[in-house]
Amino acid sequence: MSLHSLHPERVDETRMQAYSTFGPLLIHALAQKLARCQGVRELDKIEQSLVRLVEETDVAAPDAEAMKEFAVELVVSTLRNAREHPDAKQELEPIDERRTEGRSEDPDTLEEQLQSG
């Protein structure tokens, strides 16, 4: 059944079903793409921003607080899954933290230090 053949009284209900069905899928796909392209650090920023957006949104519904909790749960779990996906771009550890104090960058000096060690 297409949108054009849908009874006018069912349009809003069908729209909400479509949003609730496809919204999480779309968010998941976008999060994975972002994780592949930008890395997990960017996902941390996006998560903070989305959670803040949900918390600050004024929702005029009887179950607004519960809806917000579910929305935050969706954001957190979706971005966690994107971070853990094998294709996610992982951040490299800072090189300064890996280097031994006094270690040279010159290959000849490195070889000399290796031999003397």
Indicate the pLDDT class of residue 51, thresholds 50, 70 and 90. very high
Confidence of residue 94 (pLDDT cuts 50, 70, 90): low
CB contact at 8 A, 43 and 82 = yes
Higher confidence at residue 28 or residue 103?
A: 28
pLDDT digits (tens, 9 = 90+) for 65-80: 999 999 999 999 988 8
Q: Sketch the domain layout of the chain as residue ranges.
A: 12-91
How far is CA 19 from each of CA 12, 24, 27, 51, 78, rounded to the nearest angstrom? Answer: 11, 8, 11, 19, 16
Phi, psi of 24 (to 5 degrees): -60, -35
pLDDT for 40: 80
pTM beyond 0.75: no
Q: Look at residue 98 and tell me whether its pLDDT is greater than 90.
A: no
CB contact set of 53 (below 8 Å; sequence gap of 6+): none
